[in-house]
Structure 1
Amino acid sequence: MNPGYSNEASPGQPGGPTGFQHVVVNVPAEPQKDYLVWSLCTFVYANFCCLGLGALIYSVRARDRKVVGDQNGAKRDASCARVFNIVATVLTSLTLFIVIVVQIAAVVKLAQYTSQRGRWGGY
């Protein structure tokens, strides 16, 4: 030990000249989501133009990459699965909404038509 350097710990001091010891704690990052449950629901209930299938494939790939330890690949595949899920859910919801609105409009139009022609269609 060189007496000219004050940064070195002396044998009598446990942590160095200040008496503090430094401890490094590695906190594991939050695990990457793979959106597998959402992809399964999208595949079964909202498979608009096979986007649910694409979401399911990317979710399984993200889970596989996460198991192997490829965090960047898992993040990329999970992001693709998330986008496919969002697009499929929005398009399916929009289509369902349009179908319901068209059916309601048809029922209202039919009710107006039958009320104008009479109960038995004008006979």
Structure 2
Amino acid sequence: MNHTVQTFFSPMLKEEHDVAVPGAPHNPAPPTSTVIHIRSETSMPDHVVWSLLNTLFMNPCRLGFIAFAYSVKMVGDVTRAQAYASTAKCLNIWAPILGILTTILLIVIPVLIIQAHR
């Protein structure tokens, strides 16, 4: 038994048709197009979640709260918003560093005092 399967591929043809609209003047000039550039909203990191975690857990000198305040400021000016985001990032970096150093000092200093009295 010899079965031959034939597949027919029809090429996709793109046809153009000129349609004349009754009553409209025939214009031989090609149609013009208008391009509209829409600026997308620039996405800026606001560091709200990071600031909130620093406010709740590592908050020496209230840096986490101040960072949170800078994080939630919404300003129409992109330059000012970038400055607030940068300030919030800097404060969010320093909050855990100072929190860890404070925790270490609160453990090390009493241990050293107890060792000195023995």
Identity %: 32
The residue aligned with 1:78 is: 85
In structure 1, the gaps of 5 or more residues are 1-10, 13-22, 114-123
Say what the alpha-carbon RMSD is for the aligned residues.
Answer: 3.1
Q: Letter of the aligned partner of 2:61 in structure 1?
A: C
- TM-score norm. by structure 1 comes to 0.55
2:58 to 23, 42, 46: 46
* Structure 1 position 101, deviation (Å): 2.3
The residue aligned with 2:97 is: 90
Separation in 1, partners of 2:67, 2:38 = 33
Bigger fraction of residues in helix? 1
The residue aligned with 1:34 is: 46
Deviations, residues 7-35 of structure 1 (Å, cap 9, x unaligned)? xxxx79xxxxxxxxxx9x87857611011
Deviations, residues 18-73 of structure 1 (Å, cap 9, x unaligned)? xxxxx9x8785761101101110111112211212210110001xx22xx4x2212
The number of residues matched between the two structures is 87
* Structure 1 position 80, deviation (Å): 0.9
The residue aligned with 1:16 is: none
Separation in 1, partners of 2:90, 2:103 = 20
- TM-score norm. by structure 2 comes to 0.57
The residue aligned with 1:7 is: none
